Amino acid sequence: MFASLTRKISTLGSLCVLGLGLWGFWLEPASLYNENHEVHLPNWPDSCDGLRVAVLADLHVGSPFNGLNKLDRIVDLTLAARPDLILLAGDYVIHGVLGGNKVLPEEIAEGLGRLAAPLGVFAVLGNHDWWEDARRVDRALESVGIPVLEDSSVLVKRNGCAFHLAGLSDYWEGPRDYRAALKNIPPGMPTIALTHNPDAFPEISRPVNLMIAAHTHGGQVYLPGLGRPIVPSKYGQRYAVGHIVENGRHLFVSSGLGTSIIPVRFLVPPEVSLLTIRPARIKS
């Protein structure tokens, strides 16, 4: 009887391990969601209340379950959400992932070229783009009409809503001339900063209303009660994912869409992050 119970427990354990493996290495990485996030910001103008921003991060096209067909699905899902603004937060290519197949930057840019939004589509580069060929990735995106903001800014406005969008170069591999990125923005002007790596967040001395970043993939794996075992940040889990507020400063980190190094996701599904930005109301 004891031997029979042991066999049953062993079989059940094996099935659980198999199920978790299928989930982490197949079902979840192959999934795709629009995930809505509402962000309330101090000093955000009423004229821009309800601004909808789609963030596509860490596409890593060519990683397992994440080829050009998946890119088409991502673009379709983004367009169906009808955002006001689309931001691409870097790492379009792969640079080493188990089971991956390299996809050329030009092919990726062609897929992304279908993106359109009333306030535009803008991009920054990530560390994998630099490791591949930053100039080539930049040219590919620009060739399909997607401006790449590397330590530069642009005024975005429509129907009374106006703010500056600053693109900050990658914290690991870019020039990191963040002063140049912000120098043409008038003091007090509403500003969103887009960058790849959230480790840039403490480096910005000048206030911005919101910084949007990526890079961490949300750790790719989240273990309840234990957290995220691996987060590629010198700050550990501090800037791993989601909306973070420190000393009145706001950061949003997208968990992204692809995988890197190991093609696994567990309780951190791929998402197109849809931000609805509203002014913070002071409660009386």
Q: Which domains, from first to last, does the chain contain?
A: 31-279 (3.60.21.10)
Q: What is the pLDDT of residue 1?
A: 54
Q: How far apart are CA 213 and CA 194, in angstroms?
A: 6
Q: Tokens 């580069």 sit at which residue?
A: 125
Q: What is the pLDDT of residue 262?
A: 85
Q: What is the pLDDT of residue 281?
A: 76
pLDDT at 284 over 70: no
Mean of the per-residue pLDDT values of the chain:
89
Q: What is the pLDDT of residue 282?
A: 60
Q: What is the pLDDT of residue 22?
A: 44
Q: How far apart are CA 96 and CA 106, in angstroms?
A: 19
Q: How far apart are CA 224 and CA 236, in angstroms?
A: 17
Report whether 284 contacts 239 (CB < 8 A): no
Q: Where are the beta strands (DSSP E) in 139-248?
A: 152-158, 161-167, 191-194, 210-213, 242-246
Query: CB-side exposure of 171: number of CA atoms within 13 Å?
Result: 19
Report whether 163 contacts 190 (CB < 8 A): yes
Q: How far apart are CA 236 and CA 117, in angstroms?
A: 34
Q: What is the pLDDT of residue 93?
A: 97
Could you read off the pLDDT of 94-142 as tens digits, one per residue? 987 777 789 999 999 999 999 999 999 999 999 999 999 999 999 999 9
Average pLDDT over residues 204-209: 88
Q: What is the pLDDT of residue 172?
A: 97
User: 24 pLDDT band (50/70/90 cuts)?
Assistant: very low
Give Cβ neighbours of residue 259 (< 8 Å, ≥ 6 apart): 29, 60, 63, 64, 66, 97, 217, 220, 265
User: 263 pLDDT band (50/70/90 cuts)?
Assistant: confident
User: 33 pLDDT band (50/70/90 cuts)?
Assistant: confident
pLDDT at 158 over 70: yes
Q: How far apart are the first and last CA of the chain?
A: 68
Q: What is the pLDDT of residue 4?
A: 53
User: 20 pLDDT band (50/70/90 cuts)?
Assistant: very low
Q: Tokens 């992204």 sit at which residue?
A: 256
